[in-house]
Amino acid sequence: VSTRAGIVVTGTEVLTGRVADRNGPWLAEQLRLVGVDIAEVIVVGDRPADLLAALTHLADRPVDLIITSGGLGPTADDLTARVVGDFHQRPSALDPELERRIAAIVERLQRGRGWRLDPEATAAGVRKQALVPAGATVLEPVGTAPGLVVPPPDDVRRPDGSAGPPVVVLPGPPRELQNMWPAAVAAPPVAAVIEQARELRQNTLRLWGTMESDLAAMMREQGAALDDLEITTCLREGELEIVTRYGPDRQADYDRFAAAVADRFPDTLFSADGATIDEIVAGLLRAQSLTIATAESCTAGLLAGRLTELAGSSDYVLGGLVVYSNQAKHDLAGVPTELIERVGAVSEEVAVALADGARDRLGADIGVGITGIAGPGGGSAEKPVGLVHFCVSDGTHRRPARWVIPGGRSEVRGRAVLLALQLVRRLLQERR
């Protein structure tokens, strides 16, 4: 049986969908690294009854560890610490030393930022943040809010004989939560849970051009050989991603599975070690000491933005041209106006001219051209919304490609960027 944790994310902004939760996914990955599985992620608003019900529910599942994020601010509606303390029957009391440390942080912040805050309200906020449930471990503030590790009640046993899960109380801002995590893991009640967890390995395979149904058929053939592997597959942004989790004693099973995938889908398996397409393209450019430049119409800079996401990308990205108007296609990338008039801006010929123009104008080894109809307007029977022409060129080889991408404007643009990266990868691998 695996060691499982439950996560409670508090915050009306997250609950109502206005802000995407970044803490749940981050915590899930950190927990996996120490062998702890996630049972549930629960998002609740800033209502104490809802938070208490979520804690009760998770403790009943049962889970071995509960982690909360958010609700540690200085104002009265930030109630996580008190609710968690009450939940584990640990009354909160002021920690005067902690109060002094928080006050010093707040004062430094105010001075640094030139804030003038009401001293009485500030002191009340500091006092509230320095309330600590009896027996809890304080995690030193990264911002102004301290975190907590609240152990289960000392003298209450659950029906299964256990004491119940400790609760780790972390602040909502991702930077604060992440920086506080090492201290949380080191706190004795949490360390004790993690010690019992067995190592959980995770490997990722990525395929491009294989359908989920073909993979499913291949996995059915493998049958019982996969019984001890936890395999999840998902199609995202056109890539088929296979994530497998397993205990160390199942490494041989996994190795056989990974070899079987490589054997069946040799042309579409592009990442066997978890590397992303971005990392693979960057590695190929570096290994071949090549530079790259773009000329983008419908994606309008998103490919250049993506190529420069990785630190150090200035080693191989020179720049690009965003040629949204036809005039810009001519003026910046040198696409002949006559060509655009004859075959249209969304055409293989213009994609090729853009790739060459990008190489030429930036003095790059590799040029990428993209031109398409992102929609919702501008489509026709012959050239529908979603039609995108690509070309990747190294001067010698020109690789044009054409896709009709389904979905709305943002899907078409986002998928086009991914397809361009795959086309760059293919050309670079052919050159080797």
Which tokens go with 278? 């971005």
Instruction: Give yes or no for residue 407 binding its own copies (CB under 8 A).
Output: yes
Report the residue from 322, 340, 346, 412 that binds its own copies according to the rule CB under 8 A: 322
Nearer to its own copies, 93 or 109 (CB): 109
- Burial bucket for residue 306 (CB in 10 Å: 0-12, 13-18, 19+): buried
Instruction: Give yes or no for residue 111 binding its own copies (CB under 8 A).
Output: no
Report the residue from 36, 42, 81, 391 that binds its own copies according to the rule CB under 8 A: 42
Report the residue from 90, 206, 359, 413 that binds its own copies according to the rule CB under 8 A: 413
Q: How far is the CB of 366 from its own copies (least distance, A)?
A: 14
Please provide the DSSP assignment of 154-194 as one string.
Answer: SS---TTS-----EEEE-SSHHHHHHHHHHHHHSHHHHHHH
Name the segment binding its own copies (CB under 8 A); options: 148-156, 257-265, 310-318, 389-397: 310-318
Instruction: Give yes or no for residue 286 binding its own copies (CB under 8 A).
Output: no
Name the segment binding its own copies (CB under 8 A); options: 184-192, 211-219, 269-277, 279-287: 211-219
Task: Give Cα separations from 26 to 14, 29, 69, 274 (angstroms).
Answer: 15, 5, 11, 17
Task: Give Cα separations from 251 to 201, 219, 248, 384 (angstroms).
Answer: 8, 17, 5, 48
Q: How far is the CB of 40 from its own copies (least distance, A)?
A: 5
Q: How far is the CB of 116 from its own copies (least distance, A)?
A: 9
Nearer to its own copies, 36 or 136 (CB): 36
Instruction: Give yes or no for residue 223 binding its own copies (CB under 8 A).
Output: no
Report the residue from 33, 53, 104, 262 that binds its own copies according to the rule CB under 8 A: 53
Determine if residue 351 is left, alpha or beta; phi over 0 gives left, psi from -120 to 50 gives alpha, anything else beta.
alpha
Q: Binding pattern to its own copies, positions 71-110, x when CB under 8 A? A: ----x-----------------------------------
Q: How far is the CB of 182 from its own copies (least distance, A)?
A: 18
Name the segment binding its own copies (CB under 8 A); options: 160-168, 183-191, 274-282, 300-308: 300-308
Instruction: Give yes or no for residue 362 binding its own copies (CB under 8 A).
Output: yes
Q: How far is the CB of 211 from its own copies (least distance, A)?
A: 7
- Three-class secondary structure of residue 41 per DSSP: strand
Q: Taking Cα atoms as reference points, which of 393, 386, 351 lies closest to residue 369?
A: 351
Q: How many residues bind its own copies (CB under 8 A)?
A: 85
Report the residue from 33, 93, 94, 216 that binds its own copies according to the rule CB under 8 A: 216
Instruction: Give yes or no for residue 25 binding its own copies (CB under 8 A).
Output: yes
Instruction: Give yes or no for residue 43 binding its own copies (CB under 8 A).
Output: yes
Assess contact for 69 and 176: CB atoms under 8 A: no
Instruction: Give yes or no for residue 403 binding its own copies (CB under 8 A).
Output: no
Q: How far is the CB of 266 from its own copies (least distance, A)?
A: 20
- Three-class secondary structure of residue 149 per DSSP: strand
Instruction: Give yes or no for residue 115 binding its own copies (CB under 8 A).
Output: yes
Name the segment binding its own copies (CB under 8 A); options: 89-97, 268-276, 322-330, 393-401: 322-330
Q: What are residue 139's DSSP bridge partners?
A: 147
d(CA 238, CA 37): 28
Which tokens go with 1? 């049986």
Q: What angle do CA 196, 198, 204 make, to 5 degrees?
A: 145
d(CA 371, CA 388): 6
Report the residue from 1, 17, 155, 227 that binds its own copies according to the rule CB under 8 A: 17
Nearer to its own copies, 50 or 86 (CB): 50
Assess contact for 89 and 55: CB atoms under 8 A: no
Q: What angle do CA 344, 348, 351 make, to 5 degrees?
A: 90
Task: Give Cα separations from 168 to 46, 189, 192 (angstroms).
Answer: 18, 9, 13
Instruction: Report the chain's terminal Cα–Cα distance, integer Å.
Output: 47
Footprint on residues 136-195 left by its own copies (CB under 8 A): 175
DSSP code of residue 308? T
Report the residue from 147, 166, 189, 320 that binds its own copies according to the rule CB under 8 A: 320
Report the residue from 223, 314, 338, 381 that binds its own copies according to the rule CB under 8 A: 314
**Dihedral over Cα of 409, 414, 417, 421: its sign:** negative
